[in-house]
Structure 1
Amino acid sequence: MEDVKITCEGDDRDYFTAERDGRDIGLKSYHDGDFCISAYASPAKFRTFARGILALADEIDGGEVAEAPKPTRAPVVGDKVRILEDDPGNRTGEFVGLIGTLKVEDPNSFGYTPFLVWFGDGSGEHGDRINGTWYVKRVELVDEPEPLADWERDLLDEAPADEPAPARSYRAKYVEEARELLAPFRTPGVEDVIKLAMWLANEDA
């Protein structure tokens, strides 16, 4: 998608542009055709901003879109997280809003950059926003279904019970016994097995 541009009514050399930059959206201002300043935020924040602009233009009611409830549990290693605060000593916020996997929670950082987040497949270098890693100061858990309780996991892990074997005819045991009795002497024929099975059945009668 091309950049979105709005030009000043009084001077077409003054304008704003909006563009997609990775997972964020950037807003840039220009005066006399020269770049002045830029601001980057998540798509959710820009949607709220856009609703406010539309409200000023009397198109719709403005206001923030109701947000989904925030997850209540703290993120742990292996969770999918969203970066809320970048490394304050080494970056200007370009990692804010990115989603990755929490790889390390460092208790020895004294709150400076306790979280190591990796992006994509983690194969890139440190500082790579696509497949690398980065230490940050604050993250939040990406809203996902709550983990299963132990008893729920046990239910899912249980192997399905074997179906009961079909009921056997009472004559089958005599046929099997007859074959076992005749086997040591010679390879039994069908007639021999049946005759001996009938005899065994009559003996039990």
Structure 2
Amino acid sequence: MTVYTAQCEIDSDDAITASRSENRVELEPSSRTEVYLAPAKARTFARGILALADEIDGGDVEAEAPKRAPQVGDRVRVVKDDMNGFRRGEFVGLVGTLTRVSSYAPEGNGFKVQFGDGFGRHGDKVNGTWNCTEVELVDEPAPEPALADWERDLLAGPSRSSRAKYVEEAKDLLSDKPAAVAHIIELAQWLAAGDE
């Protein structure tokens, strides 16, 4: 069995050992709960702990992607609601949309979360808002807001009329020859007549 030992810098009677206990790494101080190590000895001991962990699981480590801070517009879950105790815990676990992030909030409630459509009063858990102390990102994508027909048309950009399409096609067909505008229009009319 592999055992790594580090002796305390302050009290030579104290030490800490690391060993394998089934599928876990066991850390055991000799007598006290604190063992003080110089940086070099701490690194050597830490490498020993890592070697034991690698021996147990083969060194498979899944690095977690760093979590970004919640931003306005993100879907968030309330972790801590009002730090002042007003309705403490009532909003914890609810999911909403972050509408404000304040690094300076005298009351400590730097996150404003909107629930539902947000048109309800402040404190309405279904369609209102609430100032919270702590939130976490939610993996689910925020639902896309419903758009009116005119908004969809506006986002789609200008549509080309069928006449313009025929003129473009005629210009492409005549691009290798010098053509007067009248010839392009005549060809566009002929192309349009073929589709009717």
Give TM-score, length-normalised by structure 2. 0.40
More contact order relative to length (CA 8 Å, sep ≥ 6):
2
Q: Which is higher, the Rg of structure 1 or of structure 2?
A: 1
